[in-house]
Structure 1
Amino acid sequence: MRFRSVCKLWRELIDDPHLSTMHTRKDTVLLHHHAGTISAFTPRTSDDASMNLRAMFKSPEIKRCKVKAVGDGLLCLRHEGFKPQKDIWYIANPITKQVLKLPKPPTECECPYGCAYGIGLDRSSATPKVVRVFFPSYESCFSYTLGAEVYDLRERCWRRPRTSKVSIFPPRVGKGAILSEERAICAKGGIHWFKETDLAGQGFDPKIVSFDLGKEEFSLLRPPKFKNPGSETGLFEVRGSLAIANHSLARRVEVWVLESSSSSKWTKRYKIEFAAFPDNVKVCVTPRRVRCVGEIDGEMVLVNFWGMHCFAFYNPKQRRSSRGFDFEHVPHVSLSHIFAFTPTLISLHL
């Protein structure tokens, strides 16, 4: 990045998103964020069963922030205010060590359920975009319209697409959140949120709310039919595609991958059998207490946050576990601190 100052032509070439897309390694890594420091999990030694944290990037601007969305090598972080209107949002690239504070969106959120953010790359223009999803107004008849605003990093401004609305019922009132508190997932040029059963479980089907970054419009996807959807279900990204895991089963975790968004066609791609794990790793894969967070080097990564804090790696082709690592010694670890990440050289200063 130091060569950006050589001349105008070099700066334009280096900042071109297509250059970073072509030359960035696509290896996925596990990252940890706490108190403004972003670190990578690495094994202590090849034969050790514990993990170390290697600091990659530290910024005082994001010291009190939480990572709320990950997409195409970029992070979206929130500094929580005493009410949603006072939240401060940032985007960061841990590889280029850049942080950008987002300007305040033009539209005030009148609905008490707050808003949700996502981040990703518009593949048609190779432009990073931030999406803010919110209810424009509160309607007592429970007929809500979900709206969006888009922050374009090239244009450096918020805009509200004309075709950005979709009718949807409100979230569980008790949670006070517009969508699931899990992170927004970026896959195949879209941002996705899992929406649990509405109105405290009064019979409405769960849905996946998707926003196409190129068309800048919403769509609703139906997830696979699970017996116990909701808190035992999680979205993540696998090889660029949207995936959903069913963690509610006693003997295995099932991973489904979206084949077609237009028809909501899902394929059961992986079955992670708990019986395939050796005894020294089974403590990492307690049924209903693990979460699948992504794929690294062809292996599915399961994380356990209840009881013993540890990772377990499962090879779907060989149908066995290859290794397990504990991170009991790592402070401040929770589901909100760990995420799968694919590096990029995309600059935040286009």
Structure 2
Amino acid sequence: MKTMMMLFPEIAADILSRLPVKSLKRFRCVSKSWCKEIDSPYFINTHLKRSSQAHTHLSLILRDTTKLCTVDLDSPDFTSIELKSNPLKSDHCATEVMGSCNGLLALLNSDFRIALYNPSTREKKMIPVSPLELPNDLDDSKVSSLFNFYGFGHDPVNEDYKVVRFIHFYGDSPDGFFHCEVKVYSLKSNSWKRIDDYPYDLRFILPPDYHPRCRRGYGVFANSAVHWKATVVGKGKENGSDLILAFDLGAEEFKIIPQPDYSSNEHEMNVGVLGGCLCVFCNRNCEQVEIWVMKEYGVKESWTQLCTVIAKLQVKEFWLHARPLAYSKGGDKILLELDNRFLVWYDLRRRKSKIIKIRGAPPIFIAEISVGSLVTLNGGGEGQTSGKDTQEKRKTRKKRAGNSWFRMQTWKTMDMERMDGDLYLLFSDTGPQELNVSFLGNIVFRAL
């Protein structure tokens, strides 16, 4: 017998905003109104914010020598599945993930072949190639090689997505490096532009470490800026010291981020992101890693030491370097990548680790975190509407909720179950059914 219920539009939208993209793609087929609602910028933004805040709908993107794979962290069994819709898939070279932001991946498989890709919706866009522009005072005959560094993120000021490209020219000069070319690609304009105010007394990792180094110096995105570890060149006592270089995507300006007061300078520092906050992780003498999180962006005093992971005590396998990737749903654990070979959940309270066994994972990999989202590549934007549009939408919803009910045709059965005095809506895969969901007094509707 069919379950007959009635449902307010707000409750339906609230439930839908908690579901994974895979389910939402099916629910777009319910009706034209549902398709319009799910495709709206307001809903896309609500879904993204809810997933980001709750640490849900997260996936691991694993890269080996020839392919990209995805692992659903919400799944009870961790299985690696190849991303066959990878726009840069090649049998001859690896596709690298230079950045991940709001469910979009920035990919490249050569120095200049770049694509933006949403693995949840399979939408993709090839980025036009931008030619090299050598500095005016640089003789190209003296350039022996060049090194590329990239970053990717969201510009909330202009509702745009941008790729930052650094090119360090290496050759016949006192320290081996020449000036650097910096260009920024805008998804909204689909074009590149040159940035001229790069601080030329900074450089990224040294050439001997360039190719074997994890992630090859790709920037990490947090607080509307892309961040890299950089090294000071030719400033007396500061020569060779590390710092955090940031590029603000809205203002398109460089800045230096203050670092925490480390307990010791004997470490290898690098930058990352945890829960949307900038973090640094310091690997010390292959014995332990310290992880710091910047609670208030740009404020030195807000650096908080999250944990110290002791190598010998945590995992039986020997490892040299650890990199934090993400928080668990409850926020009580962090996901660590060890030496591009292992993934572990580290319990912050109990100070214990557990290795994650992933079926079909390559023996050596580089991992990135991606959140499932409906963000599109049709000109940028995080999925926000203007204040006026949002107010009009709310007025329409309020009026509609007060005068009418909501009917839906779904591809899943929705059932009801009482738990702790609340009424829960449960989804199952038993087939199509028409649902009229009624709002019953003070009963609370929640999506599991």
Q: What range is the shorter-chain TM-score in? A: 0.7 to 0.9
Is the 2:202–2:230 Cα contact (8 Å) retained in structure 1? no
Structure 1's unaligned 5+ residue stretches are none
Which segment is superposed worse, 97-106 or 33-42? 33-42
CA RMSD for the aligned pairs?
Answer: 3.9
Aligned with 1:345 (options 374, 383, 386): 374
Pairing 1:114–2:144 present: no
Specify which of 95, 99, 102 is matched with residue 72 of structure 1.
102
Separation of aligned partners in 2, 1:185 and 1:256:
15
Instruction: Pick the aligned partner of 1:33 from 42, 52, 63.
Output: 63
2:305 alignment partner in structure 1:
269
Q: CA 1:57–1:187 in 2, change beyond 3 Å: closer, same or farther?
A: farther
Q: Please report the TM-score for the alignment, with normalisation by the length of structure 2.
A: 0.61
1:194 to 209, 229, 233: 229
Please tell me the residue identity of whatever aligns with 2:113. Answer: I
Is residue 237 from structure 1 mapped to residue 237 from structure 2 by the alignment? no
Which protein has the bigger helix share? 2
Is residue 183 of structure 2 the alignment partner of residue 152 of structure 1?
no
Distance 1:312 1:348 in 2: 33
Distance 2:373 2:154 in 1: 11
> Structure 1 residues 265 and 140, CA, compared in 2 at 3 Å: closer, same or farther?
farther
Residue identity opposite 2:46 in structure 1: M
Question: Partner letter of residue 291 of structure 1?
Answer: R
Q: CA deviation at 1:212?
A: 0.4
User: For 1:292-331, what aligned pairs fall within 5 Å after superposition?
Assistant: 292-297=324-329, 298=331, 299-305=333-339, 309-316=341-348, 318-321=349-352, 323-327=354-358, 330-331=361-362
CA contact (8 A) 2:101 2:221 kept: yes
Tell me, in whole angstroms, the C-alpha distance in 2 between the residues paired with 1:13 and 1:257.
34
The correspondence of residues 197-208 of structure 1 with structure 2, limited to 5 A, is: 203-208=239-244
Separation (CA, whole Å) in 2 of partners of 1:13 and 1:273: 42
Structure 2: tracts of 5 or more residues without a match: 1-24, 135-139, 380-448
Contact 2:38 2:44 in 1 (8 A): no
Conserved? CA contact 2:226–2:249, under 8 Å:
yes
CA pair 271-90 structure 1, distance change in 2 beyond 3 A: same
Cα distance in 1 for partners of 2:372, 2:185 equals 21
Cα distance in 2 for residues equivalent to 1:288 and 1:332 = 16
CA separation of 1:287 and 1:223: change in aligned 2, threshold 3 A: farther
Alpha-carbon distance change, 56 to 203 in structure 1, aligned in 2, over 3 angstroms: same
Distance change in 2, residues 1:175/1:288 (3 Å): closer
Residues 134 and 276 of structure 1: CA distance in aligned 2, closer, same or farther (over 3 Å): closer
Q: Secondary structure of 1:125's match?
A: coil
Aligned to 1:127: 160
Q: Secondary structure at the match of 1:22?
A: helix
* Matching residue within 114, 118, 121 for 1:89: 114
How does the TM-score come out when normalised to structure 1? 0.76
C-alpha contact (below 8 Å) 2:98/2:106 kept by paired residues: yes
Query: How far 1:267 sits from its partner (Å)?
Result: 1.7
Structure 1 distance, partners of 2:277, 2:127, is: 28
Is 1:102 aligned to residue 121 of structure 2? no
Task: Tell me which protein shows more strand as a share of its residues.
Answer: 1
Partner of 2:417: none
Displacement of 1:215 after TM fit? 0.5
How many residues are paired up? 323
Q: Can you list the C-alpha shifts for 1:275-312, whole angstroms capped at 9, x where unaligned?
A: 896xxx6225x463433233232211122237xx4322
Q: Offset of 1:123 from its aligned partner?
A: 1.5
Letter in 2 for 1:304: L
| Per-residue Cα deviation, 1:118-149 (whole angstroms, up to 9, x for no partner) | 11111223211111123489783558654422
> Does the CA-based 8 Å contact 1:185-1:236 persist in structure 2?
yes
The residue identity in structure 2 corresponding to 1:219 is K
Q: For 1:240 and 1:61, how far apart are their aligned partners in 2? A: 27
Query: What's the % identity of the aligned pairs?
Result: 18
Cα distance change of structure 1 residues 52 and 156 upon mapping to structure 2, 3 Å threshold: same
Q: In the alignment, residue 347 of structure 2 is paired with which amino acid?
A: N
Deviations 1:4-54 (CA, angstroms, capped at 9, x unpaired) = 9x99xx8899374x54222222223322235444311559857xxxx4214
Q: Specify the code of the residue in structure 1 equivalent to 2:352.
A: S
Q: Which residue in 1 is equivalent to 2:22?
A: none
> Structure 1 pair 44/160, CA: closer, same or farther in 2 (3 Å)?
closer
- Which secondary structure state, in structure 2, belongs to the residue aligned with residue 95 of structure 1? coil
* More contact order relative to length (CA 8 Å, sep ≥ 6): 2
1:206–1:223 contact (8 Å) kept in structure 2: no
Q: String of CA shifts for 1:62-117, please: whole Å, max 9, x gaps.
A: 3342212223322222222xxx4xx3111211112122111111443566332211
State the alpha-carbon separation in 2 of the partners of residues 158 and 250 from structure 1.
41
